[in-house]
Structure 1
Amino acid sequence: MRSKKVLPAVIGIVGVITALVWLYPFYLVLVNSLKAKKEIFVNTLGIPQQPVIDNYLEAFVELDFVRSMMNSVIITVVSVFVLVVCASMAAYALSRNNSKVSSFIYFLFAVAMLIPFQAIMIPLMTSFGSVGMLNRVGLVFMYLGLGSSMAIFLYYGALRSIPKSLDEAATIDGCNKLQIYWYIILPMLKPTTVTVIVLNSIWFWNDYLLPSLVINKEGMYTIPLKMFYFFGEFSKQWHLALAALLIAILPVIILYMFLQKHIIKGVSDGAVK
């Protein structure tokens, strides 16, 4: 009886400590974004003595936030939409085909998750650069290729739990494959779709490495690329960079808050084999 009471208490304490460890960086960003540049180095961990709200206004202007945000929104929304459509259709076709070729293709997608981007970075840039597919268009296609493995893996697991009898009943009613996918299968994949949207939106929105290699036009810079405006060769404007960082992560936090209830269900559905 005593062990049954102690175990929940220990789990609760560990959970609180873990939460504090994860929230500590956000605390540092918040308090230091409200300080003057000098105060950040003098009192890094403490609460600001006189909050400087102008940091956010100056960061908003220097970041060219409206244009940078629109570039990030366009790239993220288009990439996620294309990824969801292509990955769900591919997973549907693979899950409904029991041939060895289908199993082998799915195996290739699953194994591709283990390949790091750095291993294919140079040949990928060379291939896309040789055909002139850089900036937004090239970035969307690259995100589609890099994100499809995980998305297909999640969709495939969720589709395995949907009986094929639904497809057969819809076929008897006169539906073709595209209608079955669009009107019957895709609505049932809503939790998995939400999971794919949230996970990839966070990745695409915050990504710096791939856009820095692909985007070479000033007007197309995303928020992570513009963030490095605050880090010059001889000076680093930490007070503005931290304020800009807080502004940049707000859209992702809002998206996650609205869709968080679907994420766990989508991951668990996608893990079914």
Structure 2
Amino acid sequence: MSTRARWGKRATFAVGYTLAFAYVFPFFLVFVNSLKLKYDILANPLAIPISITWENFQQAYTKMNFFRSLTNSIIITVLSVSLLIVFSSMLAYYLARTKTKLTKYIFLVLVASMIVPFQALMIPFMARFAQFVSWNNRGALIFFYIGFGVALSTFLYHGFISTIPTEIDEAASIDGASDMVAFWKIIFPMMRPITATVAIINALWIWNDFLLPRLVLTNETQTLPLSTYLFYGQYSIEYGQAMAGLVLAVIPIVIFYLVLQKQFISGISQGAVK
């Protein structure tokens, strides 16, 4: 390896380690401060705790009503992601295999809708749907997540399906399989990497989302991100409990990502950037 190549490799590693540190450091800081008392956090939030206390986690667990909030988050995330996978994969398959002006127009509209932020639509959206949907309804929130997530999910699936030869569909048709059977029995199992990618991206978004559940849900059906808001009062903030609550809220989704990370990377490399 030449000297120039070695220096280039070292520079790449240096940038990678720097970015990794910048990404991990805030999580490390949250965890460290979750083990401190309030006055220790206020004195020096960057310091390593001299004496470790787990009291913040006990109080956060109780105050958040952790089990109820965790159950709500799991129900909303699992149902939303599952329905997004079903609808988006089927829509992407239809758009990728049906070459007409209408399907091209639909796909372009879906892609264009991805650039519109929810904040720009929030007020008219809530005013319009308030006439038809009863709030504090997990079903309504799941419906909204499907509507806002279908564009990106379809885009990712569409890029992956385009790499699958159409001869596979033709062979299934010759064997007497309908389009639905060919999709679910043959095509969909081949899309496992991109399905993992879609699942992780949407699960991270839905699990961590604060704004939409804040607009739709109340305390009885609140999710974990909403429950962490309880530590921020009008006149005081329980920093230690808030940090512990954030740690409790992020652990399930981190475990979910670690389980599917290989499939996620494979899906990104094979179809998401096509």
TM-score (norm 2): 0.96
1:66 aligns to 2:73 (yes or no)? no
Alignment of 1:129-148 (within 5 A): 129-134=130-135, 135-148=137-150
Which residue in 2 is equivalent to 1:175?
177
Partner of 1:152: 154
SS in 1 for 2:130: helix
Q: Once the 2 structures are TM-superposed, how far is the Cα of residue 43 of structure 1 from its aligned partner?
A: 2.1
| Aligned counterparts of 1:57 and 1:152: Cα–Cα separation in 2 | 42
Query: Superposition RMSD on alpha carbons, in Å?
Result: 1.1
Give the Cα–Cα distance (whole angstroms) in 2 for the partners of residues 152 and 133 of structure 1.
28
Is the 8 Å Cα contact of residues 160 and 272 (structure 1) preserved in structure 2? no
Q: Secondary structure at the match of 2:29?
A: helix
Counterpart amino acid of residue 79 in structure 1: S
Partner deviation per Cα, 1:50-93 (whole Å, 9 max, x = no partner): 10111111111111000000000000000001100000000011
Other-structure match for 2:88: 87
Over residues 113-160 of structure 1, what are the superposed CA-to-partner deviations in whole Å (9 max), with x where a residue is unaligned? Answer: 111111111122122211124321111111111111110000001011
Aligned pairs (5 A) from 1:1-273 = 1-134=2-135, 135-216=137-218, 218-271=219-272, 273=274
* Unaligned residue ranges in structure 1 (runs of 5+): none
Q: CA deviation at 1:260?
A: 0.6
1:59 and 1:243 in contact (8 A); partners too: yes
Q: Specify whether residues 205 and 164 from structure 1 end up closer, same or farther in structure 2 by C-alpha distance, changes over 3 A only.
A: same
Specify the SS of the correspondent of 1:130.
Answer: coil
Give the ranges of 4+ consecutive aligned residues of structure 1 lying more than 3 Å apart after TM superposition.
none
Q: Does the residue aligned with 1:98 lie in a helix, a strand or coil? A: coil
- Between 1:114-123 and 1:80-89, the stretch displaced more is 114-123
Closer, same or farther in 2 for the Cα pair 1:174/1:257, shift >3 Å?
same
Kept in 2, the 8 Å contact 1:151–1:196? The answer is yes
| Residue pair 1:95, 1:160 contacting (<8 A) in 2 also | yes
> Is the contact made by 2:163 and 2:271 (CA closer than 8 Å) also made in structure 1?
no
| In 2, Cα distance between equivalents of 1:183 and 1:143 | 27
- Quote the sequence identity (%): 42
**Aligned equivalents of 2:244 and 2:16: distance in 1?**
29
Q: 1:272 Cα deviation (Å)?
A: 5.8
Unpaired runs of at least 5, structure 2: none
Q: CA deviation at 1:224?
A: 0.8
Which segment drifts farther, 130-139 or 222-231?
Answer: 130-139
Q: Match of 2:197, as an amino acid? A: T
TM-score normalised per structure 1: 0.97
- Contact 1:69–1:222 under 8 Å retained in 2: yes
| CA–CA distance in structure 2, aligned partners of residues 237 and 271 of structure 1 | 41
Q: Is the 8 A contact 1:55 1:240 kept in 2?
A: yes
Q: Output the CA distance in 1 between the equivalents of 2:134 and 2:41.
A: 42
What residue identity is the alignment partner of 2:30? V
Alpha-carbon deviation of 1:199?
A: 0.6
Contact 1:33 1:55 in 2 (8 A): yes
- Residue 128 of structure 1 contacts residue 138 of structure 1 at CA under 8 Å; is this kept in 2? no
- Tell me the SS of whatever aligns to 2:158: helix
Matched residues, number: 272
Question: Per-residue displacement from partner, 1:174-227 (whole Å, max 9, x unpaired)?
Answer: 1111111110111011101000000110110010000001113x3101111111
Structure 1 residue identity aligned to 2:152: M
Q: Distance in 2 between matches of 1:271 and 1:233?
A: 44
